Structure 1
Amino acid sequence: MSQQSEQAEADAEGRFTSESVVERFEESYHLPVLGILMGFMIWVRTQAYDDFTGGERVLFSGNDAYYHLRQVSYTVNNWPFTMPFDPWTRFPYGTSVGQFGTLYDQLIATAALVVGLGDPSSREVALTLLVAPAVIGALVALPVYFIGERLHSRPAGLFGVLVLALLPGEFFRRSLVGFSDHHAAEVLFMTTGVFAMIMALGVAERELPVYEQLLDRDWDGLATPAKWAAIAGVAVTLYVLVWPPGVVLVGIVGVFFALAIPVEYFRGRTPDHLVAVGTVSMAVVALTTLPFIDSLSFSAAEISPLHPLLAFGVAVGCLGLGAMARVWDDRDVDPRAYPFAVAGLALAGTAFIALAFPDLYNLLINQSQRAFGFGQGASTLTISEAQPTPGVDPFDADRLSTYLYRAEYGLTYVVAIAGLLWLLVDSFLGEEHRSETLLIGVWFVFTLLMALTQVRFHYYLAPGVAVLNGWVLGQIVDLVGVPDLTQRIGDMKGYQVLTLLAVVMLIVAPLAPPLAAETRADSQQQDSPMWVVPAGGSDNVGPSGTRWAGSGAWMSDNTPQPGTYGGADEPMDYYGTYGKAEDFDYPEGAYGVMSWWDYGHWITVLGERIPHANPFQENARSASSFLQASSEERANLVLEAIPSLRGQAGEIDEMSNEELRSVVDDQSPQESHEDVRYIMIDDQTATTKFSAVTQWADPPGSSGGYFQRGLYDDNQSVEVTTDRYDQTMVSKLYLNDANGLEHYRLVHEVPRYTIVGGAADRQYRNSVPLLTFSRPPYNLLFRGWNSQLDNLSRALRANDAQSRTVDMGQISPRLQGIRAYNARITSVVKTFEYVPGAQVTGQLNGTNVSGQTVIVSINLEAQSGRSFRYTQSTEADEDGRFSMTVPYPTDNSVGPEEGGTNTSVTPVGNYSVFAGTFVPIETFDVPESAVYDNETVDIGTVDVPEPDNQVDVDDGNQSDDGNQSDDGNQSDDGSGSLSGTAPSMGTSNAAPSTAAPNAAPSTGHTSGVGESGTVDPLAAPVRGN
């Protein structure tokens, strides 16, 4: 071979190699870019990983993630089956919730089995669930890219993914590590379903199947469009199986076909290809959802006949529209009349459903209003994530635009809306109409309405915003003539570069600061004493349940396993398989835990006990009725009547005490042993969430409001609580430590304390009567109980006794300008036990003992070292006999093994008896068995001092049937000004002086106890500055 030939071959090989590199890069450059963007999405979403895994157990964000952990753990142990029914929540009925135990939980369980090589530990299961939302959130980039590529080009798809990766707001938060709810999976599967439908439409528009092919049995010609339509149907079904309310996508697809088929016909083209896609895809949805029906009643919350029937209805509707088009052609009817005929047919169909199936019609209307019609009820609005987007209701354009810009999208939402209009105009006015562009428009509009109706649904809108931003950039690239990768980059003109950079910066730059703010952990400034600890960030971005984890661990270890309370021997299996039941028959010894519904899943998972109310809002009304009950008698009747009121639980707050007592008297043996035994209350339930509690029930006999104006700091008007609030069970239990109650005792409190009460700004222009300083933006928690905290507690009470506020800047410089009033220090979570109580009886011996006030008192101490006192009082009869019920024992002899509670609140000494004297005239013990069995403890005859040594006893803590306790603090007289002191929010956390006559109002002073054991009940209160 000549040298020239060799050189020519080498040159050709070089050119081939160079051209091959360019071609290969052009073919696959999107893969590494897409991988980098997805890697960034995972990285930024897992920055807080250590925050969730630093303790003994893995934590999660929010409430529902914990219940998903239960569902995933069950499926791991019973793969591939999900939990059919759960008696470990919604006591005493049990529940089955279609939105849990879904395909999402099966996928996570499968991943956990792979990670654990077939036998994962509980921690491995939890860690798999922990990181799942971050991985799933990154996977959303795939359908976003493919939709963008389908609509325009690869660069458009990649830019859409870039926008998605940088979006802050709901989509970002709900795909963070730890936010292991099903939300990220919802977005992934909905967007995948939309992409699959777009692909099916594209194939159909290319193949253009017609009705005649079916008549001619041209299976080969129909196979490809039918296959893609079926794939689209399967994708929609998978979304519904992840989240049953996702049947909304079937409705969105139905609206699309109701618009697309008339548009196609109006443009002079046969709509057979659209009819084929709609019919086949929705028929597949109908057939594939049938095997998963959980309930025969119509419901959107679980797979029900609604799901296949709605899909089947869309399929039949598509066939009907196609048949109408054929009739129009055969009879040569004016095509302009076709859309009106379709509208008339839709109205007729709606009227038929309303008349023939009113329940189904009402369900569809109600669900549509809840999803995208601003139709939430008052109780739904107590769920923060279900509230409308700020600025929607009432409408405020400035507030709405500010929220969308700062919290969710930057300018991308403006670009998306403009891009949608551009896309639709370009499609309808252009030479080549593509139905998939209309699908994008319908999808975007409906997800926009969903986002405006419920703020959480912005995670559905995010992919559409990203896709349309990518399409807009692609269009601008085309308009300015930017060269593709096969051309020299150096050929780009200056204006092309500047235009492209300007558009990219305009879209991307506003997203960087909000994203950085979302990922940045709240830092605690070193401006507080060492005994002040950070309270943590928002539940939306950090671990939730951290304060309840301690209570849950204590409850799991120190209370009897359900089925063994009171010595029963029928323990319930935590991961057992239970058949569905309308009203589960709990074994004897099973019991429930009363709390506000927000905390039910934490009780189930962290405490492995059975909550009465849960975040499904089940039993929320009865929980509200209990928490607002204005007397112990009413609260007891609510608890005892609950097992008999499954069909009437919604009316429990409307029933009188006599009606409730009648219900209790008529209980069956099964109902009579289904008892609520524990009550758990946190600082939010008693303060910031109390308004939500009041939305669910309005107890009978209550009058007046919970708040009114009062005077502090020399006639400065602030909002304060009223006597009505002080008489609620929330106040009596959480703020008063059950003082004066007969059947409730504190058994545990988390050793983390905060300040609760009212707060005002420096100028008194704004005041809040109830809040907790443990939550953002204050984030104030105290570590344990110590002398500094004890002194601070006394100072707060002393200031309140003088109707003066406290400058919170003295406690932490971060709180400068905040004034606290009517405030006290209390544990963030307290647990109480509902017990029969011991009957204490005796007889006074002395002169004029008839009607004498008898007080019994005992000093108690929580595990943290915080001391407080329980007192109970009654009046002796004409013979000097007295009787009262007390809930606290003087020993702890009945533990979980015996069916009782290993309480962390211990007695300090014995009960003391006071009657007309400063010093105790008798002491006695109460065994714990007497408290559990309602036994009588007779203390015999008690000698009362002679009249010369007596004083009138009025301890300020007299009770009426044990319910009207008053800790001695004067409360508002109802006139709008404060009489003596601010309205009482309960007794001091220190030992109050309620044990003797004429005692000054307690201000948190711990009375001195001498060597002889006597108590000085007249000790002067501590006065603050």
Structure 2
Amino acid sequence: MSIDYHEKLKSSILPFTGILLFFLLALYIRTVPAESVFISENFVRFGGNDPWYHLRNVESILHNFPSMLWFDAYTQYPHGTDQVFAPLFDMVLATLIWIIGFGDPSTELTQTICAYYPSFLGSLVVIPTYFVGKWAFNDRRIGLLAAFLIALAPGQFLSRAIIGFNDHHIAEALLSTVVAMFLIAGLRRSESSDFTLSHLRENGFSQIRPILPYFLLTGFFLGAYTLAWKGALFFSFIIGVYITAQHIIDHMHGRSTEYLAIGGMAIFIVALVMVLLTPAIGGTKDLQIKGLLAGFVAFPILSIISYYMREKQLNRYYYPLSIAVLFGAGILLARVVSESAYALVTSVFSYFMRTGGGLTIAEASPLLMRGGQFSLQPLWYNFALTGILSFFALLILAYIAIYRRNNREQTFLIVWSVMIIWAMLQQNRFAYYYSVNAAILSAYLGIKVLDLAGWKDIRSPFAQATSSISDWLKQIKPVHALALVLVVLVLAYPSYDLSTQQNQGTGGPNGYWIEATQWMKYNTPDPGLDYYESYEQPPEGELYPYPDEAYGVMSWWDYGHWIEVIGHRIPNANPFQQGIGGRRNSMDEENRPGASTFFTAPSEAEATAVLEAVHPDPEKAGARYVVSDVAMATGKFYAMAAWTLDTDNYYVQAQTARGTQTVPGERYFNTMEARLHIFDGNGLEQYRMVHETPAANTAETGFKQVYNVLFGGNLEMVNTGYVKIFEYVDGATITGQAPAGEKVTITNTIRTTTGRTFEYSRSTTATNGTYEFVVPYSTEGPMTGQTQFDTAPTGSYKVSFGNTTESVRVSESAVLNGGEIEV
């Protein structure tokens, strides 16, 4: 039978044109906020947190091309960290930039390509979405409508592909959809090339040869997906669940299952080889190997059991029962033989569940929860009507699968969708996966509605029986046009409306954080470590050999990548949830030193003990600088407490003019975070403010009002610096003589970066005729090679008792080295 290539090309014009237009539409929507990314000639603002670390990886690869940054000493001081991300996303991006830049790309070129890259990948998703929709239902109309809907998709699918959000998430969505596309293509062809063991004996692989390339391509892209995300065993698990379900369905209908064993083994062996060839996958390589090996072994076992049961003509219902028994026996065997294997199996059922502080991670919280309360609003935010309609479509497909004979492709679509829903309900991050499923399922429902309106009787303008588009147009009646407009409007307009609302900004560090981290880069001592170095991983159990001048920067983990990549300083905690400290499962655990324990510490002494415990060397502290922002002092403080599992009494009920309200209580105002940010570090011995950014209109004044009203304070009711940088110093000791029992006070007026002033003061009682103060501020200005602070005293310290007042000058050397000044 000859192929009419002219007709084939003619019939491809419409879908090709549609896909191209949808790609351009998606790209346009995702690049609308370009001005908020390219904020100056010298600075590109990437969104969120992790995109900054991807920039870190890309820059490191380009400086050491083609070596990956397998160990990073420039974060999680004093430990450093193994590469947390799977390598493919950054390696492909860096290689692309290296080629375009002829081996020496500029910083501007690097950051520009990084900024546009997620938008390009997100727009590419329209292509596999089209083919999945087309091949799953043998209807290119469903494919085209699905491609159109995914181009408009709002919510996390949009935000993960917005310009400047250079993260691996959108690569996950693209690659997993390509995996589904090739798997569905293989399943389609397996329908007409039924394969059995007898065929294998008689004809070798000739019968499976037409479908094997699709399974091999599925394996290749599953391998690429695995190398792009360290949690990719999730999609391997989906394929495993589908192959198991399809084994049962085929066996119950008396069909051979051998094609599933051959196909599944081909998929998993290709992915396994790719994993084995990769040095590391974000700490999950062993897990990926075990999972892929388990599938590779299990698939032929499932087919062999089915084959012999058919040969022996055993009751078909014994087959699913035998699989259940086999699965249960496997779990018991794993528990006896291998704890790691048992943990792998049992962890599947809670793979994405988080507890304690982990629930404060935005992308890891359950989808239908907002502020701890059940809500359907996230469903609308992420999918508009396609989310709701997709559930109806899923029910229809499930009905067809149970009561009629559906095809293998649709069975996979059902399993795929259900598994994504299961994951999404546990962690909302999987909403960007389900956007693809929602688009395909909603498109299926939309075309069904059009067919009910008579569209199924209209022949395509590119079919041989239709000579021209004008002939095709003559077939369309008003009811057809009305149905088309209604379906497109119902499905597409809400998504488009949400997308145009949600694509106005990119997030990322605001101007205050950009200013603060850049100030730190140029006004604090160099930590003695080359930012672009290819660091050598230390032997297991040993610390990285940091130079003596190295130090950490303590801040909340959200900001770690900004401190590292913009400020070129080494954070103690980072968005990999490293360096947070606290507890994970029970109050009985040790409250480990880290960011959560430091900022919730109830006194300066306890906070300092945490800071020094961060570093294993008792002669060194874990950090030299502490960076706080107003969000840490207000909205994010509860997250800090949640990571310690001790959240009681930070907030109390108080009667106000607006009724009973929850307000910060005494325990909150005693924390180190409140002492630093709300009180400006007033009265602290070893922490001094060295820089603050301009203020913003925030909740700070509300917190100060509560303190003044409930605790008799006299804080000035103004917003202060949005970001404040403090330095941890030895402090200068001021000693003098005063009558025993006399109250002695030391004061100074501190002028900050912004020109505002606040009073630094402490009081003590003279003992045995002497008094002593440890103070953190120098009155003599910065020293070369040390912090070039721009927040400092306006004059001398004033020490007063009775009718006596003394002026004291304090050098920077005394502050840094613990010097003593005698009055």
Say yes or no: TM over 0.5.
yes
Residue in structure 1 matched with residue 681 of structure 2 by the alignment: 738
SS in 2 for 1:591: coil
> Paired residue for 1:555, among 520, 526, 549?
520
Q: Distance in 1 between matches of 2:337 and 2:562?
A: 44
Given that 2:64 and 2:534 are in contact with CA atoms closer than 8 Å, whether structure 1 keeps it comes out as no
User: 2:669 touches 2:675 (CA, 8 Å); kept in 1?
Assistant: yes
The match for 1:908 is 794
Matched residue, 1:355: 336
Equivalent pairs, count: 791
SS in 1 for 2:762: strand
Summarize deviations over 1:197-235 as a string: whole Å, max 9, x none: 112222333332332344457244443333322221111
1:818 aligns with none
What is residue 709 of structure 1 aligned with on the other side?
A: 653
Shift of 1:503: 2.6
1:439 to 400, 412, 420: 412
Specify the code of the residue in structure 1 equivalent to 2:358. T
The letter for the 2-side match of 1:908 is T
Q: Is the 8 A contact 2:557 2:575 kept in 1?
A: yes
Match of 1:242, SS state, is: coil
Give 1:274 shift: 1.6
Counterpart contact for 1:392–1:452, Cα < 8 Å: no
Alpha-carbon distance, 1:341 to partner: 1.6
Partner secondary structure for residue 68 of structure 2? coil
**Deviation per CA, 1:745-789, whole angstroms, max 9, x where unpaired?**
100111234343475xxxxxxxxxx5xxxxxxxxxxxxxxxxxxx
Question: Which residue identity is paired with 1:881?
Answer: T
Are 2:598 and 1:634 aligned? no
CA–CA separation in structure 1 for the residues paired with 2:393 and 2:223: 30
Tell me which residue corresponds to 1:495: 479
| Secondary structure of 1:224 counterpart | coil
Contact kept? 1:209, 1:222, Cα under 8 Å: yes
Assess, with a 3 A threshold, how the Cα gap between structure 1 residues 674 and 112 changes in structure 2: closer, same or farther. farther
> Partner of 2:637 in structure 1?
690
Q: Does 1:597 align with 2:524?
A: no
Q: Deviations over 1:271-294 (max 9, x none)?
A: 111221112211222222122253
> Please, which moves more after superposition, 211-220 or 880-889?
211-220
Q: State the distance in 1 between where 2:660 and 2:564 align.
A: 43
Which amino acid counterpart does residue 887 of structure 1 have in structure 2? P
Deviations 1:207-265 (A, max 9, x none): 32332344457244443333322221111111010001011111111111111012112
Kindly state the Cα deviation for residue 517 of structure 1 after the two structures are TM-superposed.
1.5
Distance 1:719 1:501, change over 3 A: closer
2:181 is equivalent to residue 195 of structure 1: yes
Equivalent of 2:430 in 457, 474, 477: 457
Distance of 1:338 and 1:753 partners within structure 2: 66
Q: Which residue of 2 aligns with 1:862?
A: 752
Partner Cα distance (1:628, 1:167) in 2: 41
The CA RMSD over aligned residues, in Å, is 2.7
Separation in 2, partners of 1:305, 1:59: 36
Task: Quote how far apart the aligned CAs of 1:23 are.
Answer: 7.1
Match of 2:52 in 1: 66
1:209 alignment partner in structure 2: 195
> 1:885-920: CA deviations, max 9, x gaps?
11111112423x2xx211111321212221113xx6
Do the aligned partners of 1:553 and 1:607 also contact (CA within 8 Å) in 2? yes
CA distances 1:149-197 after superposition (whole Å, capped 9, x unpaired): 2122222211101111222111111111111121111100111111121
Find the counterpart in structure 1 of residue 720 from structure 2. Answer: 826
Structure 2 residue aligned with 1:978:
none
Q: Per the alignment, do residues 118 and 241 of structure 1 end up closer, same or farther by CA in structure 2, a change over 3 Å counting?
A: same
Deviation of the 1:842 alpha carbon: 1.9
Residues 124 and 95 (structure 1 numbering): CA distance in 2 closer, same or farther, change over 3 Å?
same
TM-fit CA distance, 1:556: 0.6
Match of 1:673 in 2: 620
Q: CA deviation at 1:672?
A: 2.6
Read off the aligned partner of 1:894 and give its amino acid letter.
M
Tell me: CA distance 1:825–1:478, structure 2 relative to 1, closer, same or farther (3 Å). Answer: closer
Higher relative contact order (CA 8 A, sep 6+): 2
Q: Does 1:924 align with 2:808?
A: yes
Please state how far the C-alpha of 1:44 moved relative to its aligned partner.
1.0
Give the aligned residue type for 2:197. Y
- SS of 1:269's partner is coil
CA distance in 2, matches of 1:727, 1:574: 40
Work out whether 1:423 is the aligned partner of 2:391: no
- Distance, in Å, in 2 between the alignment partners of 1:244 and 1:67 is 15
Contact 1:289 1:307 in 2 (8 A): yes
Q: Distance in 1 between matches of 2:797 and 2:294?
A: 73
Task: Specify the alignment match of 1:538 in structure 2.
Answer: none
Q: What is the CA–CA distance in structure 2 between the aligned matches of 1:394 and 1:641, rounded to whole Å?
A: 34
Match of 2:440 among 440, 449, 467: 467
Residues 743-822 of structure 1 mapped to structure 2, 5 A cutoff: 743-757=686-700
CA contact (8 A) 1:800 1:823 kept: no
CA distance in 2, matches of 1:729, 1:394: 26
Deviations 1:19-44 (CA, angstroms, capped at 9, x unpaired): 99987543322112211111010011
Among 567, 572, 587, the alignment partner of 1:607 is 567
Q: Within the alignment, does 1:308 sit opposite 2:289 as a pair? A: yes
**CA 155–905 in structure 1, closer or farther in 2 if over 3 Å, else same:** same
Q: CA deviation at 1:360?
A: 3.2
Specify the alignment match of 1:617 in structure 2.
577
Q: Is the 8 A contact 2:523 2:788 kept in 1?
A: yes
Deviation at 1:823, TM superposition (A): 4.9
CA distance in 2, matches of 1:624, 1:293: 33
CA contact (8 A) 1:67 1:605 kept: yes
2:4 pairs with 1:115: no
Aligned equivalents of 1:209 and 1:363: distance in 2? 33
Instruction: Tell me the distance in 2 between the aligned counterparts of 1:588 and 1:803.
Output: 46
Tell me, in whole angstroms, the C-alpha distance in 2 between the residues paired with 1:888 and 1:241. Answer: 50
Percent identity over the alignment?
29
Contact 1:561 1:572 in 2 (8 A): no
Instruction: Mark the structure with the bigger radius of gyration.
Output: 1
Equivalent-residue separation in structure 1 for 2:342 and 2:407 (angstroms): 33
- Name the CA distance, whole Å, in 1 between partners of 2:659 and 2:15: 66
Alignment-derived partner of residue 76 in structure 1: 62
Out of 243, 260, 263, the position equivalent to 1:277 is 263
Sort the Cα spacing of 1:718 and 1:251 in 2 relative to 1 into closer, same or farther, 3 A: closer
Gapped regions of structure 2 (runs ≥ 5) = 582-593
Q: Distance in 1 between matches of 2:54 and 2:289?
A: 26
Q: Is the 8 A contact 1:755 1:826 kept in 2?
A: no
* Equivalent residue number for residue 364 of structure 2: 386
Q: What SS does the aligned partner of 1:244 have?
A: coil
Rounded Cα–Cα distance in structure 1 between residues aligned with 2:698 and 2:494: 38
CA distance in 1, matches of 2:71, 2:113: 24
Distance (whole Å) between structure 2 residues aligned to residue 841 and residue 753 of structure 1: 40
Q: CA deviation at 1:674?
A: 5.4
CA gap of 1:20–1:179, structure 2 versus 1, over 3 A, is closer
CA contact (8 A) 2:60 2:532 kept: no
Alignment correspondent of 1:90: 76
What is the alpha-carbon distance in structure 1 between the residues aligned to residue 568 and residue 345 of structure 2?
A: 37
Matched, 1:250 2:236: yes
C-alpha contact 1:104 1:242 (8 A) present in aligned 2: yes
Secondary structure class of the residue paired with 2:697: strand
How far apart are 1:111 and its partner, in Å?
Answer: 2.2
**Match of 2:148?**
162
Change (3 A) 1:711 1:495: closer
The one-letter code of the counterpart of 2:736 is G
Partners of 1:179 and 1:142 lie apart in 2 by 21
Do 2:331 and 2:345's aligned partners in 1 also have CA atoms closer than 8 Å?
A: no
Contact 1:252/1:446 (CA < 8 Å) preserved in 2? yes
Q: Are 1:876 and 2:766 counterparts?
A: yes
Relative to 1, partners in 2 of residues 1:726 and 1:209: Cα closer, same or farther, differing over 3 Å?
Answer: same
Work out the CA distance in 2 between the residues paired with 1:223 and 1:269.
20
Report if aligned partners of 1:174, 1:184 keep a CA contact under 8 Å in 2: yes
Q: Residue 88 of structure 1 contacts residue 611 of structure 1 at CA under 8 Å; is this kept in 2?
A: yes
Letter in 2 for 1:92: P
Contact 1:712 1:803 in 2 (8 A): no
SS at match of 1:719: strand
CA contact (8 A) 1:205 1:273 kept: no
Name the SS for the 2:75 alignment partner.
coil
2: CA distance between counterparts of 1:209 and 1:890?
86
* Contact 2:49–2:508 (CA under 8 A) maintained in structure 1: no
Deviates more, 1:830-839 or 1:473-482: 473-482
Q: Distance in 1 between matches of 2:65 and 2:416?
A: 35
Q: Residue 104 of structure 1: CA displacement?
A: 0.5
